Amino acid sequence: CGHRQFPAYNIYQRSDMAAEDVATSRSNLVRIQIAERCFGGQGSVLVQPGRILLGEGILKKVCRKDLSPRKILLFNDILVLGHVVKDRKKYTKQMIFYLSELGIQPMADSESIQFAFQVLSPKKSFVLVALSSNERDLWVSHLKKACALSTTVPTEHAPVWVPDKSATVCMCCSKTRFTTLIRKHHCRACGHIVCGPCSRNKHLLPRQSDKPLRVCDPCFTSLSGNAPPLRDESRARLDSIRSTLSMDSDELDEETDGVLVPEPPVFYAPEDSQ
């Protein structure tokens, strides 16, 4: 791509005046405008005073059923994710995370997943997967450096959901076995996979939503101050019917335009922003 990487992370140590020069440079503005146009009218305005695009690339996100490619745009104040329809042409379902609220946690390699790291945020936490350990370490290093630029806001992060393939029985009662008719549900408080009867309750989790969210019985008891679970059976049955007919957003991923060609991430050195 013609852009040099900067292992010394010079951009993160520049003065406010120098950072302003980079933010207003033509190359930086052009890169951000290109990314903004790729989202069309579906995303937020990305060109903002003082904003610098530090790097970009494609990683795979661990979704409920499979791995799905995501465009990753790392700025000096936000992290942006988008569904890849065609790289550098069209992205959809823009998601924005403020660096001041993020936590970055590398994961140890296992038989089930390799080269992965967790992105933790108040509203949604998830796992991203790179093509190699070097690429993962590069992303983690840049993300941590970028997050260090922002004033850290003490916050409680949302849990990372357990992938569907990781559980064949309810992680709450350990009795219900999931089938095509018995659907899996995720507790929004702990991220575990549970059955319908073990997750009939909802509780307000302000960091994630302004509406009550589905939680498992142990989490409901804990969140309610050890009060016994209170259930509205008719509402539980209605919720069960609705959940059977609905799908999570990650299950509605758009198909990509052909096969994505793996390519290393690009991180922009100060000298590239002229």
Rg of the chain on CA atoms, in Å: 21
Give strand ranges (E) for the chain: 53-62, 67-75, 78-86, 90-98, 103-106, 116-120, 126-129, 185-186, 193-194, 201-203, 213-215, 266-267
3-state secondary structure of 113: coil
Across the range 62-66, mean pLDDT stands at 84
Query: What are the structure tokens assigned to 93, written together?
Result: 């379902």
pLDDT in tens, 135-173: 999 999 999 999 987 765 556 778 888 888 888 999 999
Burial of 27 (0-12, 13-18, 19+ CB in 10 A): middle
Nearest-angstrom CA–CA distance, 150 and 22: 17
Pick 225 or 212 by higher pLDDT: 212
Pick 143 or 209 by higher pLDDT: 143
Q: At residue 124, does pLDDT exceed 50?
A: yes
Q: How confident is the model at residue 26 (pLDDT cuts 50, 70, 90)?
A: confident
pTM of the model: 0.68
3-state secondary structure of 32: helix
Of the listed ranges 3-12, 63-72, 163-172, the one predicted with least confidence: 3-12
Per-residue pLDDT, 145: 92
